[in-house]
Amino acid sequence: MPPNSATDLHPNGASEKTAPDEIVDKNDVFEKLVAPQAGPRKFEVVYFNLLTFGFAHLSWAYGVYLIFTAAKWQTTLFALAYGIAGGLGITAGAHRLWAHRTYKAKMPLQIILMILNTIAFQNTAMDWVRDHRLHHKYSDTDADPHNATRGFFYSHVGWLLVKKHPEVRRRGKLIDMSDIRNNPVLDFQKRYAIPLVLTLTFILPAFIPWYFWGETLNSSWHVATMFRYVTGLNLTFLVNSAAHFFGYKPYDKSILPAQNKFVAFAALGEGWHNYHHIFPWDYRTAELGNNSLNLTTHFIDFFAKIGWAYDLKAAPEDMIKTRAARTGDGSHCWGWGDTDQDKEEREQAIIKHPSAEKDV
């Protein structure tokens, strides 16, 4: 993809025109949006997305059939492993490292995470980060790309089948993305998105079972590629939908995000959502005691031990208890370094495996 392209690749390969370099009108008045909020709107269906998502899910269903009737066990196991690897590219990479800056990673780990992120293909990491920071800044309002106030289906996948709400476009221009645009690893992914995605997301996982253990191309494609890919998409989508509808809310009962154990397990530790929306800068995305279902945290901890991950940020226990007692007092932020982040949080946060540098 050209570096200055004005096209967003959607998770199914579809595209929608955007204007990332538009200048924000300083006289533009931004109304305060209080969640849950969803104003009247006209939905404009993106039919290409509708058709490709429909085809992908039909291929997924056929893949399920082949798993039980024709595919070799090695292919199913490979699809699971390749899918988990890609999932870590979303959870440890796009989400915790780049979107929220909950820890820092040395170049080798960043390259690994970029590759894993491409395997999952939920847009380029640059676009994923922009939408996710916007989601936290304006959660469950019209400026949230997958506003859960509009219902389970919309927050799960419906938002990808229609054009973006004008508030998403308008306020998305204000999200600070300077750290992401200046990242050479993510710039490389953005520049070469099409060949990287074709190779790592679709061709390679179909080739490996066929070449190494004689799987049929039909089973390789529908199990290792399509079943694995669509399953990964929907597990991530559950964080946007199920974790905003089902679960308990020990930290802020006034917001939609909730603690959901099933989503935590299925999405590699991303289901402790009530906690995460209160402390988006905590690298664990969960309080202590909830790491048994948090594969992503174990992944980050491993690389911290070998020195590739450092400056891991975590909320201390007394801060967590204080916030739980307040239930709702405090502002929303997209992660570490947001201008709306509480100063007390920054001063009291625990920095694990700190670097000698003084930057933030």
Q: Which long-range contacts (CB under 8 A, 24 or more apart) does 294-299 make?
A: 294/264, 294/268, 294/269, 295/84, 295/88, 295/268, 295/269, 296/88, 296/91, 296/92, 296/96, 296/268, 296/269, 296/270, 297/269, 299/88, 299/92
Residue 271 within a domain: yes
Residue-range definition of the domain harbouring residue 204 = 45-352
User: What's residue 20's pLDDT?
Assistant: 44
User: What's residue 335's pLDDT?
Assistant: 65
Structural domain total, the chain: 1
- Bridge-based pairing of strands 350-352 and 7-9 is unpaired
Q: Is 10 exposed, middle or buried (0-12, 13-18, 19+ CB in 10 A)?
A: buried
User: What's residue 359's pLDDT?
Assistant: 55
Q: Kindly report the CA angle at 98 between 170 and 102, in degrees rounded to 5?
A: 115
User: What's residue 166's pLDDT?
Assistant: 94
Number of other CB atoms surrounding residue 41 within 10 Å: 13
- Residues 204, 275: Cα–Cα separation, whole Å: 37
Count of positions (residues) in the chain: 360
CB 12 within 8 A of CB 50: no
Residue 14 within a domain: no
Residue 9 within a domain: no
- Residues 225, 208: Cα–Cα separation, whole Å: 10
The two three-digit tokens of residue 201, written as one number: 């997301």
CB 145 within 8 A of CB 168: yes
Residue 37 within a domain: no
What is residue 332's DSSP assignment?
-
Residue 4 within a domain: no
Tens digits of residue pLDDT in 73-115: 999 999 999 999 999 999 999 999 999 999 999 999 999 999 9
Q: What is the pLDDT along the chain (360 residues), one digit of tens a residue?
A: 333 333 355 544 444 444 444 444 545 667 888 888 899 999 999 999 999 999 999 999 999 999 999 999 999 999 999 999 999 999 999 999 999 999 999 999 999 999 999 999 999 999 999 999 999 999 999 999 999 999 999 999 999 999 999 999 999 999 999 999 999 999 999 999 999 999 999 999 999 999 999 999 999 999 999 999 999 999 999 999 999 999 988 899 899 999 999 999 999 999 999 999 999 999 999 887 677 789 999 999 999 999 999 999 999 988 888 888 776 433 345 567 766 566 776 777 878 788 866 554
Residue 358 within a domain: no
